Chain A
Amino acid sequence: MIKVRIPTPLRPLTKNQGEVEATAGSIAEMIENLNAAHPGLKDRLCDDKGELRRFVNIYVNEEDIRFLKGKDTSLKDGDEVSIVPAIAGGN
């Protein structure tokens, strides 16, 4: 089982749960499985082409998946995944 931390903006899709569980062997599979349990989640994380939106940061055990294998990063039982939208702006 993978533990997934859901950021506040996405909690309306997870019945306000800040943590959900998923079974998956990779980030891509985790997104599909999360979307099956919480419809709409994939659209918030990925664009029309299925690529991760640029402002979405995903960490596996605090490592940024961009420095691992992106959506192909493998997951194993007990991993903790955090989804954290970027915070940015300017004048």
Chain B
Amino acid sequence: MSALKIPQQILDDMIAHARELDPFECCGLLAGTNGAVSRHYRITNTVAKDARAVEVFEGADVKQLSHLSNSTKAEVAYFMDPKEMLAAFKDMRQRNLELAVIYHSHTHSPAYPSATDVGLAYYPDAAYLIISLEHKTAPDLRAYWIKDRQVSRAEFQSV
């Protein structure tokens, strides 16, 4: 697996995305070639709007969401809008890019995968990047590989 290279502009834009939605979680995808990221897709977090999100979380036995208010759901979880994901994957195919990074923000906790993140990690070939806004003035970005529920650090450099 080659080391990830992410343009500084895309890193800045992901942080901006996280800040815009704070205290709600943002999410999105990065695509590129051989780990060199060139494209950023912001995806809408529909955890509070899509009844299927609750089914997915509770089906995987990772988090009980149904008792939470809609706004609380979006503070503690994300669920990518399936239609937007489909459109992003289509765009990647047309540009001959691969999915490289799946990102989301943690607005109240550190940039480390939660049990929920690990239990719902269905893409072992993509790095999972977390933007922590636990310390609002110092966003912390870290990336991980999550394979068979094992978490390891994914190094990335800004370019």
Contact = CB atoms under 8 A, between A and B. Distances in A.
Interface of A: 5, 7-9, 18, 53-55, 57, 59, 62, 64, 66, 82, 84-91
A8 to B, nearest CB: 5
A45 to B, nearest CB: 12
Nearest to A56: B122
Contacts of A59: 86
Contacts, number: 96
Interface in B37-62: 43, 47, 52-53, 55-57, 59-60
Nearest to A59: B86
14 contacts: A5-B93, A9-B122, A9-B123, A9-B125, A64-B83, A87-B27, A87-B43, A87-B79, A87-B122, A88-B56, A88-B77, A90-B47, A90-B57, A91-B106
Interface of B: 25, 27, 29, 43, 47, 52-53, 55-57, 59-60, 63, 76-80, 82-83, 85-86, 89, 93, 98-99, 102, 104, 106-109, 113-114, 116-117, 120-126, 128
B85 A84 contact: yes
A66 B56 CA distance: 14
A88 B56 CA distance: 8
A91 B108 contact: yes
A88 B57 contact: yes
A54 B17 CA distance: 28
A87 B102 contact: yes
B107 A91 contact: yes
Nearest to B77: A90
A85 B29 CA distance: 14
A54 B123 contact: no
B54 to A, nearest CB: 10
Given A87-B123, A88-B78, A54 B89 contact: no
B117 A90 contact: yes
B108 A88 contact: no
A8 B126 contact: yes
B117 A55 contact: no
A9 to B, nearest CB: 6
